[in-house]
Amino acid sequence: MAGRSALNRGAYVEAALEVIAQVGVDKLSMRNVASRLRVSPMAMYKHFPTKDDLLAASLEEFIARANVVPDTTLPWEQWVEHAAAGMYEALCRELSWVPLLGSLRVGEQAITVTEAFVARLREAGFTVEQALQAYFAVIQVVVGAVCLRSSLDARPTAEPGSSGEDSRTAKTDNRSLQAADSIPGELRSFLKRDQIAIGLPLIIDALRVKLEEART
Amino acid sequence: MAGRSALNRGAYVEAALEVIAQVGVDKLSMRNVASRLRVSPMAMYKHFPTKDDLLAASLEEFIARANVVPDTTLPWEQWVEHAAAGMYEALCRELSWVPLLGSLRVGEQAITVTEAFVARLREAGFTVEQALQAYFAVIQVVVGAVCLRSSLDARPTAEPGSSGEDSRTAKTDNRSLQAADSIPGELRSFLKRDQIAIGLPLIIDALRVKLEEART
DNA sequence: ACCTGAACACCGTTCAAGT
DNA sequence: ACCTGAACACCGTTCAAGT
């Protein structure tokens, strides 16, 4: 009874993140977020003029909570590996964010991460140019790794919660890699490797060479 | 009047690719593909039990038509750059494929590309292991590049064609990078660079070093 | 075999109205 | 200021039926 009404942005974002954790970003709807708060779907449109606005705010919070910036004083290679692993794991936990990464607004939290990354690499001796290239190369490899990884495991499929089963998805659950047995064995075992261990080491190797070249 | 009926899979895939070219993968619907062929939406379910099946078949055809494997006898670095550029450009033309790359079945065409890639690198002196790592690293960087690029330009938004304006998307057209002016200038100009030119050179550098190490 | 119509259970969003 | 109900124009998919 104490001040339950007058919901603010934070409450909606919180509810959105809960919905996402349970059913994935792609099945989040204005209606199911609202019903979790026992509120009319229309109530949200005062705070978020569009579903994309709600998603952008939720992504900001998701990035903030993922907490991918290592605060230790590791050597730069390990610092980068650590940060990349953090991003990779966070995105793997919520695969459904990936498609939206490019299409939502670049927010405060994303910029904070960028700046931390660049600062650490500058400290290690890279130029601003090089540090930015390194940062985006790492992001590319992380996003790519998550995209490819997603072909290997189905969605979590937590229990539907309240309303009836979603008849729309029932049929598509055991999709993906149906054609797997026609893939050459070596390719298959490669697909099963931790995807982040494929591209990232190459990026770091190249950066190390660049740094050594600059030192001589 | 000459054999227009008895539509086969190919006709549906063709129509799907036309719809995708006009409005993007994400707005493809069973209904709009069917109506393009002046057929009931239900007619498709005999050939494609699920929308995902239609999309998988269309992606196969898209990959085949993209024709990313260079048949010239370029040095391996340029061969890889050429192939990566082909993938990047094809995906940029149809950004909306990206989210589905991981979630649809791995098909015949995708495997053909993989094999061509591995064969070319083997020829250049890499081991199978290295060639596969190189291939997936390149794919990761390409997919990542496309994902990040998508934050910079809006969808093509071809004219709506037949039925009324889609009121659902009207509001979200000028999304993306709203917060751009709060991003440090250097970061902004970096985002405007050709994304494929960020990660790929680092990957190729690393591969070159690997090859030279093996030669000595 | 291939296609149809009607129906079900969903969407995002608008609009006029309530407190 | 914040919330509501009803409505609009869409979805994917099922089912019973037609030829």
What would the pLDDT profile of B179-191 be if each residue is shown by its tens digit?
Answer: 434 346 677 777 7
- Token match 């009931």: residue? B40
The tokens for A200 are 């990232």
What is the distance in angstroms between the Cα of A115 and the nearest Cα belonging to chain B?
A: 9
State the angle between helix axes of B128-149 and B76-93 in degrees (0 to 180), rounded to the nearest 10: 40
Predicted local confidence at residue B5, as pLDDT: 42
Instruction: Tell me what pLDDT residue B110 has.
Output: 87
User: Once rounded to an integer, what is the mean pLDDT over residues B17-40?
Assistant: 91
Task: Give the SS3 label for residue B181.
Answer: helix
**Chain B, nearest residue to A183 by Cα:** B111
Residue B215 has pLDDT above 50, yes or no: yes
User: Do residues A118 and A131 touch, judged by C-beta distance below 8 A?
Assistant: yes
Q: Which helix or strand (DSSP H or E) is residue B122 part of? A: helix B108-123
List the nucleotides on chain D closer than 7 A to a protein CB: 1-6, 9-16
Do the chains contact at B171 and A50, CB–CB below 8 Å?
A: yes
Write out pLDDT tens, residues A115-164: 999 999 999 999 999 999 999 999 999 999 988 775 544 333 333 333 33
Q: For C11, which residue's CA is nearest its C1'? A: A29
Question: Does A124 contact chain B (CB < 8 Å)?
Answer: no
Does B144 or A168 have the greater pLDDT score? B144
Instruction: Give residues 38 to 67 of B whose Cβ lies within 8 Å of A.
Output: 49-50, 52
Average pLDDT, chain B: 80
A196 or B26, higher pLDDT: A196
Residue B150 has a pLDDT of 55
Average pLDDT over residues B127-139: 94
If you average pLDDT over each of A165-174, B120-129, B169-178, which comes out highest? B120-129
User: Angle at CA B7, nearest 5°, toward B5 and B8?
Assistant: 150
Candidates B148, B153, B162, B143; CA nearest to B22 is: B162
Full DSSP string of chain A: --S--S--HHHHHHHHHHHHHHH-GGG--HHHHHHHTTS-GGGGGGT-SSHHHHHHHHHHHHHHHH-----S---HHHHHHHHHHHHHHHHHHTGGGHHHHTTSPP-HHHHHHHHHHHHHHHHTT--HHHHHHHHHHHHHHHHHHHHHHTTTS--------SS---TTTGGGTT-S-GGGGGS-HHHHHHHHS-THHHHHHHHHHHHHHHHHHHH-
Nearest chain A alpha carbon to B151? A102
Amino acid A41 reads P
Render the burial of A173-195: b for 16+ CB within 10 Å, e for the rest.
Answer: eebbbeeeeebeeebeebbeeeb
pLDDT of residue A108: 84
B91 burial level (CB within 10 Å; 0-12, 13-18, 19+): buried
CB-CB contact of A178 with B55 (8 Å)? no
**pLDDT for the residue numbered B194:** 84
Q: Which of residues 4-43 of A touch B (CB under 8 A)?
A: none
- pLDDT at position A153 is 45
Please tell me the distance in Å from B167's CA to the nearest CA on chain A: 12
The pLDDT value given to residue B72 = 79
Question: Rg (Cα) of chain B, in Å, rounded?
Answer: 21
Mean pLDDT of B51-69: 92
pLDDT at B163: 34
Q: What is the mean pLDDT of residues B172-200?
A: 62
What does chain B come to in residues? 216
**What residues in B contact A179, CB-CB < 8 Å?**
105-108
Residues 6+ apart with CB under 8 A from A94: A20, A21, A24, A25, A62
Distance (Å, rounded) from C-alpha A96 to C-alpha A24?
Answer: 6
Residue A190 contacts B, CB cutoff 8 Å: yes
- Searching chain A, which residue's CA lies closest to the CA of residue B155? A103
Nearest residue for D15, CA–C1': B42
Q: Please state, in angstroms and rounded to a whole number, the distance separating the CA atoms of residues B139 and B80.
A: 11
* Span between the terminal Cα atoms of chain B, in Å: 70
Reading the block at residue B175, the tokens are 């999304």
What pLDDT is attached to residue A73?
A: 87
Q: How far apart are the first and last CA of chain A?
A: 70
Rounded to whole angstroms, how far apart are CA atoms A91 and A62? 10
Task: Please tell me the predicted confidence (pLDDT) of residue B24.
Answer: 87
Contact indicator for A33, A19 with CB cutoff of 8 Å: yes
Cα–Cα distance for residue pair B187/B182, rounded to 1 Å: 10
What Å value separates CA B14 and C1' D7? 36
Q: Is B141 or B168 the better-scoring residue by pLDDT? A: B141
- pLDDT value of residue A163: 34
- The Cβ-side half-sphere exposure at A30, using a 13 Å CA radius, reads 15
Please indicate whether, in this complex, the C-beta atoms of B187 and A114 are within 8 angstroms of each other: yes
- The confidence score (pLDDT) of residue A184 equals 63
Q: Mutate one of A60, A103, A155 to test the B interface: name it (highest B CB count within 10 A).
A: A103
Average pLDDT of the residues in B19-34? 91
pLDDT score recorded for residue A149: 73
Count CB atoms within 10 A of the CB of residue B79. 21
- H or E, element range at B140: helix B128-149
Residues of chain A with pLDDT under 70: 1-7, 103, 150-185
Q: What angle do CA A55, A61, A67 make, to 5 degrees?
A: 135
* Closest protein CA to C1' of nucleotide C4, residue: B40
- CB-CB neighbors (< 8 A) of B207 in chain A: 202
